[in-house]
Amino acid sequence: MKLLLKAVTIASAIVASPALATSWTLDPEGSHLAYGSIKKDTVGEVNSFSSLSGHVSPDGKVEIEIDLSSVETNIDIRNERMIEYVFRKTGTATLSAEFDMQDVADLNVGGATTVDADAVLSLAGTDVEFDAEMFVARLSETSVMVSTNDMVFLSTEDAGLNAGVDKLMELANLPGITRTVPITARLIFTMDDKKAGVAAGVPTTVAAAIIDGDVKAGKKVFRKCRACHQLKEGRHGVGPSLHGVFGTSAGQADGFKFSSALQGSGVTWTVETLTQFLTDPKGTVPGNKMQFPGLKKDEEIVNLIAYLNEEAAD
């Protein structure tokens, strides 16, 4: 459990840098928290929790909830005993932390690092402070993975769980159960703040558009845009000029009247955000006035963005 809290701490560090300030949510499908125990000196078992939830706020505050009733020991009666005697029918355990995000703030997509973190586990009225080394990898512009880098151990005495473990030994007629519990965690966090832009859901195959796109082919794709957009600076038509579009804020070009939806979107036009917008303009920024339904082929988007990067550069 201690490592889970640590993991959350690190994940939030990544996503709370000024360039990526937003809130992030734990992905329960991709995340996994497990712990081990040894009985009678030689019998090892691995148990886990199937229900996790949590988030990381823009200011670096982390909170993860573990549904203790979701404990899975692969034996029903043992699950029931864990819930009743060890967890004392407490609904959830909470992992919370604050962190210094500087160590991972500049982590790029595909990059990884290890970070030391501090956190607190709250379980049935007992708070346990932890520290651990976590492995952090940025999977995409919209997701990060945090996992334990080394084995992490929880003392049942520190967590106030010894009486429950004693009861398990009595009920199962066991001579002993280890009181130091090894824990592992894999946590996936995804971006969920609208103000962070529309990077969420961007196909990773398109992320390298500027490098891999065919500019000549992109010029042909731009024919679909030409009815509304021009590439000359300040030359607006039905839509705004796309000159120097990369790095600019959506809805902010001088001399063009934008919809309030675009003006308030908080989007900065990057390869990722423009990719998402070109795929589904209405779905990406609901309420905007653009009538174009979007490009459905990744190849067209890659080539178009490559063309815009070369021909519409500021």
- Give the pLDDT confidence score for residue 47 in this predicted structure: 95
Q: Is residue 14 helix, strand or coil?
A: helix
Instruction: Check which CATH number belongs to the domain holding 174 and give it.
Output: 2.40.128.110
Show the domain range for 153.
2-194
- Give the pLDDT confidence score for residue 244 in this predicted structure: 87
158-170 burial string, b = 16+ CB within 10 Å, else e? Answer: bbbbeebbeebee
| Between 122 and 58, residue with greater pLDDT | 122
Lowest mean pLDDT among 9-13, 26-30, 308-312: 9-13
Domain C-terminal end among 139, 172, 194 = 194
Q: Are residues 142 and 210 in the same domain?
A: no
| Between 36 and 132, residue with greater pLDDT | 36
Contact 37, 82 (CB under 8 A): no
Contact 211, 302 (CB under 8 A): no
Q: Are residues 164 and 266 in the same domain?
A: no
Domain C-terminal end among 194, 229, 244 = 194
| Between 153 and 22, residue with greater pLDDT | 153
State the pLDDT confidence band at 201, using cuts at 50, 70 and 90: very low
Q: Collect contacts of 167-176 with beta carbons under 8 A, ≥24 apart.
A: 167/81, 167/85, 167/86, 168/81, 168/82, 168/85, 168/86, 171/81, 171/85, 172/39, 174/39, 174/40, 175/40, 176/39, 176/40, 176/41
What torsion do the CA atoms of 255, 257, 261, 266 make, to the nearest 10 degrees? 10
DSSP string, 175-222: S-B-SEEEEEEEEEEEE--GGG-S-TT--GGGTTHHHH--HHHHHHHG
Q: Is the pLDDT of residue 312 over 50?
A: yes
Can you tell me the mean pLDDT for 72-97?
91
Percentages helix, strand, coil for the chain, rounded to the nearest 5? Answer: 30, 30, 40
Q: Are residues 46 and 128 in the same domain?
A: yes
Model confidence pLDDT, tens digit, residues 276-292: 899 888 888 988 888 88
Domain C-terminal end among 140, 160, 194 = 194
Number of domains in the chain: 2
- Give the pLDDT confidence score for residue 289 in this predicted structure: 85
Lowest mean pLDDT among 46-55, 126-135, 185-194: 185-194
Model confidence pLDDT, tens digit, residues 226-270: 888 888 888 898 889 998 888 888 988 888 898 888 888 888 888
Residue type at 262 in one-letter notation: L
Q: Are residues 131 and 20 in the same domain?
A: yes
Q: Are residues 221 and 126 in the same domain?
A: no
- Give the pLDDT confidence score for residue 20 in this predicted structure: 44
Residue 61 is encoded by which pair of tokens?
């505050």
- Give the pLDDT confidence score for residue 13 in this predicted structure: 46
Task: State the Cα–Cα distance between residues 44 and 178, nearest whole angstrom.
Answer: 10
Can you tell me the mean pLDDT for 101-106?
56
State the pLDDT confidence band at 212, using cuts at 50, 70 and 90: low
Q: Are residues 32 and 139 in the same domain?
A: yes
- Give the pLDDT confidence score for residue 106 in this predicted structure: 64
